[in-house]
Amino acid sequence: MKKHVYLLLSSMALLLVSYQTNAEPVFAVKADIYKLKNEITIDSKIAKKLKSLAPIHQPVLLALLNESALIEIGDEKQLTALEVKANEDGAFFNAAMKLKDKTDGQWQSITSFMPNIPNGQTVYFSRTFIDSVWLIKLTGTRYESEELGLASFQNQ
């Protein structure tokens, strides 16, 4: 599955490189996704706890302003999709997370939506699902060019 995620991200990067001469503003999205035990709750200690854990995935991508970007992670039994869309000037973005789990041959899903997240803001998505807690730490930032957006991923 990791191979598919890397191929998707590589393809997106190559596609975006072809638009490099336009120098359009872009919106850089970084997601850290963790799978936690049920007894861990989201409270004021979450940042401390996350420092001691390694994310199971760290997808990054660039999206044109006012265009949707999609990150999908999973397999034939569990899927997580994260959709992010910045507004036309990149002042804020909307994010939606959908978790799907196949139990007894049937797909169960949970969807969470956060509107109007300010540029540069970090937000958390969290859902208890089956025997674990999925947590996505999401940060979206507007950059004046694709080059600056790509460079921001290197500086993290």
Chain mean position to CA 110: 16
Q: What residue ranges do the domains of the chain occupy? A: 2-154
Amino acid at 41: T
- Cα(117)–Cα(137) distance, integer angstroms: 13
pTM above 0.75? Answer: no
Integer Rg of the chain from CA:
16
* pLDDT tens, the chain, 156 aa long: 555 544 444 445 545 555 555 688 888 888 888 887 766 555 556 777 888 889 888 888 899 999 999 988 888 888 888 999 999 999 999 999 888 888 888 888 888 899 999 999 988 887 766 677 778 888 999 999 999 999 998 876
